[in-house]
Amino acid sequence: MIEFLIVAVLVIWSVIVVFKKVFPRTSNSVFTSLSNVCEQKGWITLAKWLKPAMAIGCGGNCGCSATDEKSTKKAEVQAVKWK
């Protein structure tokens, strides 16, 4: 019984991820509507979780980051000099 629950959760999560990737505009409007309904019901935490992140930059779902976090640069690899 627990296996069915785990598989069902994984399938639902996968469907949501694919839905967001394939239909970005539709998914944004659906999740915004769900967030507004949850906010009206008083479920503030769920509403914040469902609200989609606003696109920054091109907004064309090209893989640009939607957050303001700056990517950390990797330290340059230096050769070890043996004496």
For 55-81, write each residue's pLDDT tens digit.
Answer: 665 555 565 555 556 666 777 888 888
What is the rounded distance in angstroms from the CA atom of residue 45 to the CA atom of residue 43?
6
**Structure-token match 């069915």, residue found:** 4
pLDDT of residue 36: 92
Enumerate the domain spans of the chain: 2-50
Total-model pTM: 0.56
Q: Is the pLDDT of residue 48 over 60?
A: yes
What is the rounded distance in angstroms from the CA atom of residue 18 to the CA atom of residue 22?
6
pLDDT category at 37 given cuts 50, 70, 90 is very high
Angle in degrees, 0-180, between the axes of helices 24-41 and 2-22, rounded to the nearest 10? 120
The pair of structure tokens assigned to 47 is 């509403």
Q: 38 with 46: CB under 8 angstroms?
A: yes
pLDDT of residue 83: 76
Q: 35 with 47: CB under 8 angstroms?
A: yes
